[in-house]
Chain A
Amino acid sequence: MQRYTDVICSFCGTLCDDIEVVVEDNKIVDVKHACRIGTAKFLASNDYEHRLLKPMVRKNGKLVEVSLDEAIEEAARILKDATKPLLYGWSSTSCEAHSVGVELAEELGGVIDNTTTVCHGPSVLAIHDAGYISCTLGEVKNRADLIIYWGANPMHGHPRHLSRYSIFPRGYFRERGQQDRELIVIDVRKTDTAKIANKFIKVNYGEDYELISALRKVVNGGELREESVAGVPREEIIALAEKMKNAQFGVLFFGMGLTQSYGRHRNIDNAINLVRDLNAHTKFVIMAMRGHYNVTGFNEVLSWQAGFPYAVDFGRGYAWYNPGETTANDVLQRGECDAALIIASDPVSHFPRKSIEHLARIPFIAIDIHPTPTTQLADVVIPSAIAGIEVEGTAYRMDAVPLRLRKVKEPPEGVLSDVEILRRILARVRGEEALTAKAEVAK
């Protein structure tokens, strides 16, 4: 029996790093401190019946088990033959895998994109225009006296966010924890998070932008003419603006309720500027509630290697970026890509129908831990080990704090890490001999 402490949970962007895991006979028998979802992920790693264990290649319309070498060879062939391959997914694997992925995309002259495109892509676009006035989560814990969740429901999406970083913990300047803080939730419906808030503000569906504009006008000294904006009475808007201005340290956490509702990136642009305006009065920061545990890491890696955070087209040998043109759904819906590699993601369950229809038409490779609708539709399926449970690697928390994922158990026999799979595909694309017994990775 082996007990591991300080284990990092590779589920959501909260990236809790205080998990205790007990392993016996290469099975996780106990998980402490993790939330319900995190615990389930750890325990699910034991369940080989619902894991992908064997590489498969589609032959005569059916996926059949093959050797790993054959699957790698077929994957490399598909990608090499393509004129515009799309490499998509990435948010639930390590930065080391991202790094090889970027090199592969570059080698192929393909398009590389991650799930940012369907979650916080609008936040990234807003950052390009407005900047990003933020902090690490420990700053919130130590200093924040006003916490706002807007279009985010951490009780469900990020269960320990409230207890580790925001409303509940005791901090250096907030010794009494929750009693020293105020929680406001702004959303279109009364979520479970809203139920524990000091105040819930219900905004009309699709009118967040108007509410932010009204708040900014008031914060900047203007007068509101309307009796109410976005369903919120004038007095309440004025009171909220005052509360924000008078906080010692305020934080605005926003989620997909803001990024994916009407207005999208302009909602975030306006929200970041609201926070900027508030800095003329007090300390205020803003943070995106990133979903997948390493969606942030992909944005980081692609930025330092290729200069852009997601949706990069290497078709001309260099990086070109313009969401709307180079984003996965746009490339799929316009029918531009002629092959794909999907890794650590299940777009068939989440993408619009038109995207999936094109994906179904082209040859594609799926690398994943579990069978998914995407792996069922794929032409090559390669099982991979779970980063953060079965292999080490790097992940970036939602506030871009990088952590080293730990390994607590061995992967199923013959199952490689994403890094190693990608390295082998890259080697075959380059016509190099397959890397077999070589050391795991460079780092």
Chain B
Amino acid sequence: MKEVVLTPKEQPSYGLIAECISCDVFAGKSIDEIKALPVYYGNKQGELGDFFEISGEVASSAEEQRIVIAGDVPKTRWIGKEMSAGEIVVKGSAEMYVGAWMRGGKIIVEGNVGAFSGMLMQGGELYVKGNAGDYLGCSYRGEWRGMRGGTIIVEGNAGMEVGQNLNGGRIFVKGSVESFAGVRMKKGLLVVGSATDRVGAQMVGGTIVVLGNVLRLLPSFDPAGEVENPSVADESFEGVFNKYTGDHAERHAKGVLYVRKE
């Protein structure tokens, strides 16, 4: 793999739209061309080179491209948007929309990611060592066909509405999540360390696994016995779990929720 290194300079307070930071976009370009890629902040258009020192080697195809962002980019948005292949490593924290509409390849963020990361993902992997904001792996406003493929792994915690409208793919949050995890979920798998409340609200399909505690379950979930070492697709989970079905606020709901017994 060939590696291009972006060393952040000062970040604009307005928020920086840098959807050009994608292996698909970089591949086949010269370093100078990459420096000149458009970025947007407020009502202005700038160049990627205005905000990053850029060096390294560019690959001819996205598959062979690796992009390293060498530090925190707390105002940068849309890293890896629509990326189909290759690898991005962020050696710090990034802001909103990391890996939105991603189709393939891998994004590794060593710090935290902001809200709406992994929005409408279709494939590939988003790996976050720190925490994620609200709406991890969500859909866009009004779009009922949510994230439909790929994998999101968060080592830390995540905010509200993880996997909202989830329609396929897998999301793992090892820490805790705030309310409405898996809200309106239709398909796919959502695994969380622990959850506060309203897990699986209005879900009609798919599976949610809670490895630890749930503060409070919705009254519209029904218990369906205990299951030992349940497996979902090719993932299996050790221990004894209480199984629930729901959300029976919805008609014909076929969602499944496992909560590990203490």
A residues adjacent to B (C-beta < 8 A):
82-84, 108-110, 125, 128-129, 209-210, 212-214, 216-217, 220, 222, 224-226, 229, 262-263, 266, 269-270, 273, 277, 314-316, 321-325, 334-338
Contacts and interface: CB of A to CB of B under 8 A. Distances in A.
Contact of A222 (B17, B40, B220): B220
6 A-B pairs with least C-beta separation: A109-B43, A84-B42, A83-B42, A128-B142, A216-B249, A213-B220
B42 A213 contact: no
B219 A316 contact: no
A213 B219 contact: yes
Nearest to A128: B142
B132 interface: no
Contacts of B115: 324-325
B179 A225 contact: no
A322 B141 contact: yes
A378 B116 CA distance: 34
A262 B13 CA distance: 30
**Candidate in A125, A210, A226 with the most chain B CB atoms within 10 angstroms:** A210
B15 A334 contact: yes
Contacts of A324: 115-116, 134-135
Contact of B42 (A217, A322, A338): A338
Given A110-B43, A325-B116, A128 B141 contact: yes
A217 B141 contact: no
A408 B184 CA distance: 50
B231 to A, nearest CB: 27
B135 A217 contact: no
B179 A220 contact: no
B201 interface: yes
A230 B198 CA distance: 13
B183 interface: yes
B141 A209 contact: no
Contact of B219 (A108, A110, A210): A210
B247 interface: yes
B134 A315 contact: no
23 contacts: A82-B42, A82-B43, A83-B14, A83-B42, A83-B43, A84-B42, A84-B43, A109-B43, A129-B142, A129-B184, A212-B249, A213-B220, A220-B250, A226-B219, A263-B180, A263-B198, A270-B201, A277-B251, A315-B40, A324-B135, A336-B15, A337-B14, A338-B13
B176 interface: no
Contacts of A225: 219, 222
Contacts of A224: 219
Contacts, number: 102
Interface of B: 13-15, 17, 40-44, 96, 115-116, 134-135, 140-142, 144, 165, 179-180, 183-184, 198, 201-202, 218-220, 222, 247-251
Nearest to B184: A129
A213 B144 contact: no
Given A110-B43, A216-B249, A277-B251, 16 more contacts: A109-B42, A209-B198, A209-B201, A209-B218, A210-B219, A213-B218, A213-B247, A217-B249, A220-B248, A220-B250, A225-B222, A263-B180, A315-B43, A324-B116, A324-B134, A337-B14
B222 A220 contact: no
A228 to B, nearest CB: 9
A83 B198 contact: no
Given A125-B141, A335-B13, A108 B43 contact: yes
Nearest to B135: A324
A109 B96 CA distance: 21
Describe A's contact surface by its main secondary structure: loop
Nearest to A335: B13
Given A83-B42, A83-B44, A266-B198, A220 B184 contact: no
Contacts of B250: 216, 220, 273
Nearest to B115: A324
Contacts of A217: 219-220, 248-249
A181 to B, nearest CB: 27
Contacts of A213: 201, 218-220, 247, 249
A308 to B, nearest CB: 9
A323 B247 contact: no
Contacts of A335: 13
Nearest to A216: B249
Given A128-B142, A325-B116, A229 B13 contact: no
Nearest to B43: A109
Contact of B249 (A262, A270, A334): A270
B144 A129 contact: yes
Nearest to B45: A316
Given A108-B43, A129-B184, A322 B116 contact: yes
Nearest to A314: B43
Given A110-B43, A336-B13, A220 B249 contact: yes
Nearest to A109: B43
Contacts of B247: 213
B180 A266 contact: yes
Nearest to A223: B222
A259 B220 CA distance: 21
Contacts of A338: 13-14, 42
Nearest to A237: B219
Nearest to B142: A128
B93 to A, nearest CB: 14
Contact of A336 (B14, B144, B183): B14
A286 to B, nearest CB: 16
A321 B141 contact: yes
A262 B135 CA distance: 17
A433 to B, nearest CB: 24
Contacts of B134: 324
B195 to A, nearest CB: 15
Nearest to B44: A83
A213 B201 CA distance: 9
B207 to A, nearest CB: 20
A216 B220 CA distance: 8
A87 to B, nearest CB: 12
Contacts of B222: 222, 225
B139 to A, nearest CB: 9
Contacts of A337: 14
A209 B144 CA distance: 21
A91 to B, nearest CB: 21
